[in-house]
Amino acid sequence: MAAHRPKLALFEAIASMGKAFASPRRLELLDLLAQGPRTVDELARASEQSTANASQHLLALHAAGIVSRERDGTRVRYSLAGEDVLRLWLALRDVSAARLAEVERAAREYLGDDVEVIGPDELTARLRRRDVVLVDVRPPEEFEAGHIDGARSIPLEELEQRLDQLPADTEVVAYCRGPFCAYAHEAVRQLRAAGRPARRLEGGWPEWQLAHEKTEKTPTAAVGSGSR
């Protein structure tokens, strides 16, 4: 562990954060945490793994400084350590999508046929004109942890039964966790199968949040390019 060259020790320390991003299970947990804080148990269930395993991975993420822990009675609530971590995760995700054909392939496989999208600018304009219905199709806990202003929560599971709650003549825009989340894709397919005009929002809640919350607090040190 002790590197003779001090320079290697520095890169070793940085690599310990890199290692946190090197496991699919941990990335899945990170992706969930990007939606908001969750307890170990919730995260384990949402990512279909044992509690013990999820706990181990969460502790590893904590040791790498990219998530925070907070006791809440008998349970422990984890959350992303800060906005900088969220940006880093999204950057890794986007670069891997742009550079690795395998990511593209796996995404296509998972998401199914692509559906029409609407960009954030157009959505903002049409929301202002009340020309569109914005639907958050994520699980309700995630909606409660934070959502786009003006959206209504209809979890994907309930969409089919609640179709009549949506106006028949207005276009529907669905969004979920992000570009690699299947919920919005599936929602749009269901809506169109029911004969309704629908598109999905490009990006999800985390991307929207980063673009719109101007002055987020920076909890720890300033992330500069060299103030050290």
Q: List residues with catalytic annotation.
A: 176
Between 88 and 127, CB nearer to a copy of itself:
88
Residue 25 in contact with DNA, rule: CB under 7 A: yes
Beta strand 75-80 with 38-39: parallel, antiparallel or unpaired? antiparallel
Amino acid at 202: E
Choose, by CB under 7 A, the member of 10, 11, 53, 160 that binds DNA: 53
Is residue 204 a contact partner of residue 184, using CB atoms and an 8 Å limit? yes
Among 58, 81, 134, 154, binds DNA (CB under 7 A): 58
| Cross-strand pairs, 134 | 173
* Site for DNA contains 158 (CB under 7 A): no
Binder of residue 137, out of DNA, a copy of itself, none (CB less than 5 to 8 A by kind): none
Letter for the amino acid at 37? Answer: P
**Which of 3, 52, 125, 194: binder of a copy of itself (CB under 8 A)?**
3
Residue 171 · residue 197 · CB < 8 Å: yes
The residue within the footprint of DNA, chosen from 7, 74, 169, 195 (CB under 7 A), is 74
Q: By three-state DSSP, how is residue 94 classified? A: helix
| 3 state SS of 173 | strand
Interacting residues toward DNA by CB under 7 A = 1, 19, 22-25, 39-41, 44, 49-53, 55-60, 69, 71, 73-77
